[in-house]
Amino acid sequence: MKNKIILLLVCILMVCGCSNYRELDDLAIITAIAIDKSSDGKYELSFLIANSPKAQTSSKEGEAKTTVFSGKGKTLTEAANSVDSKSPKTLYYGHINVVIISEEIAREGFLNIADWLLRSPETRKQFYLMQSKDTDAKNILKIVEPLEATPSQSITSLIESNINSQSITTTISYSPFIEKVLEKGYDPILPSISVDGKISKGSSEKNLEKTEPTSYLKLDDTAIFREDKFVGYVGRKDSQSINVLNDSVHELKIDFKHEANDIVYTSNSIKTSTKLVDENHVKINIKGSGFVSEVNGKVSLEKVSTVKKLEKNLENALTKQLYKTLDKLQNEFKCDVFGFGNKIYGKYPKIWDKIENKWNDKYYPKLKIDINADLTIESSGSLNRSIEEVRS
């Protein structure tokens, strides 16, 4: 009797396994979505779908690992239905890694499309959110690269490697972005992505066969939003400054001058704290330690006095760049991507009620911000003296 029960359980497990496999084989698994506006004003949805091996056949050499299906509609639902009618398999939204929106969509307002993404029961809300720059969002999905199997994997790897090594971009997923949009006194940001090279060549599998790809994806400037609407871009230096001020730095590299010599400082321990003095005044403290990772010139790092001068020049270089970024965000864009207004709302809610409607245009640009940087050089890498000094 016991053996019969065990045999029955094994049979049940085998049947369930086969059933699940057949169901999976019937799904078109979407790994990335691009959202554009077509010339006729309709929404255009593009789905990057992972190609599954065809039934009872083996994959052909050179066969594309992904397929892009696109559809248009007056609403996103209508556009999605248009894609569904073209797909021989049932669209599955449960494995989306990234959603890319075009500049036009971003300028009109993200909340116009947020509802559709939110209401899909299958969609996990942890996918990366990005904005295409200088090209339609759908073109980003077409570029194939040699280091990753699919464009969606290329994009996620690109974001994660850059946030860890350079801090010039940031990882933004759907839920945190929406939270920033809905928070009082907070304006969100998004990383942007562009295509370097011709899209027609980058979408060909031949792009994988070259030692140097003809076209590739690259992280571009940071997109600045006011509430849910895109207003403009800031470059690499400003993007890095935003990450420093928001205490979201993994590894920071700072270029600075010392007696006409170019120095590079590297730290993975930068910490930023923000203190609200009152509704008109903020103090920011930045603390960290690191090492000199490059010296172009004759600089002796054995002398304590030299190291102290280096630290002073380093701190001045960083604070100068941070103030420059703050000036741009406060006076040019008038976008509070640092959440200073949110801190006022939390500490002085009655005052916030009076200034909220004029925060970005009137009060935020006049907010006094003091920055104090305390950076130390713990080591100088494997050399205490530069190559130039050793040679001389």
Q: Based on the domain organization, do 280 and 255 belong to the same domain?
A: yes
298-301-304 Cα angle (round to 5): 130
What are the backbone angles phi and psi of residue 231, rounded to the nearest 5°? -120, -20
Q: pTM score, two decimals?
A: 0.85
Residues 281-307 pLDDT 10s? 999 999 999 999 999 888 878 888 999
Is the model more confident about 23 or about 384? 23
Mean pLDDT, rounded, for 233-262 = 93
The reply to whether 18 falls in a domain is no
Number of domains in the chain: 2
Residue 168 has pLDDT above 80, yes or no: no
pLDDT at 203 over 70: no
- Domain match, 220 and 244 both: no
Domain shared by 117 and 251, yes or no: no
Q: Is residue 251 part of a domain?
A: yes
Last-in-domain residue among 184, 211, 234? 234
Residues 354, 333 share a domain = yes
162 in a domain, yes or no?
yes
Residue 149 lies in a domain: yes
What pLDDT sits at residue 351?
Answer: 97
| 191 and 305 housed in the same domain | no
Same domain for 117 and 245, yes or no, is: no
CA–CA distance, 234 with 236 (Å, rounded to integer): 7
Is residue 20 in a domain? no
- Within this chain, do residues 143 and 249 fall inside the same structural domain, yes or no? no
Answer whether residue 253 shows pLDDT above 50. yes
Structural domain harbouring 359: 237-392
Residue 37 has pLDDT above 90, yes or no: yes
What are 42-78's pLDDT values in tens digits?
999 999 998 655 444 444 444 557 789 999 999 999 9
Residues 185 and 272 in one domain: no
Q: Which tops the pLDDT comparison, 153 or 127? A: 127
Secondary structure E strands in the chain: 27-37, 43-50, 66-73, 90-92, 98-101, 128-132, 189-196, 216-226, 229-234, 252-258, 261-267, 271-278, 281-296, 368-379
Rounded average pLDDT over 95-105: 94
Q: Is 293 exposed, middle or buried (0-12, 13-18, 19+ CB in 10 A)?
A: middle
Residues 214 and 256 in one domain: no
- Residue 380 — pLDDT band, cuts 50, 70, 90? low
The answer to whether residue 71 sits within a structural domain is yes
| pLDDT greater than 50 at residue 9 | no
SS (H, E, C) 303-371: CHHHHHHHHHHHHHHHHHHHHHHHHHHHHHHCCCCCCHHHHHHHHCHHHHHHHHHHHHHHHHHHCEEEE
Predicted confidence band at 171 (pLDDT cuts at 50, 70, 90)? Answer: confident
> What is the reported pLDDT for 52?
55
Write down which residue in 214, 234, 254 finishes a domain: 234
Ramachandran angles phi, psi of 47, nearest 5°: -110, 125
pLDDT at 89: 87
Query: How confident is the model at residue 55, as a pLDDT?
Result: 44
CATH code of the domain in which 305 resides: 3.30.300.210
Query: Mean of the per-residue pLDDT values for the chain?
Result: 84
Residues 241 and 122 both lie in one domain: no
39 and 171 both lie in a single domain: yes
Please check whether residues 230 and 248 belong to one and the same domain: no
Please check whether residue 262 lies inside any domain of the structure.
Answer: yes
- Choosing from 206, 234, 262, the residue where a domain stops is 234
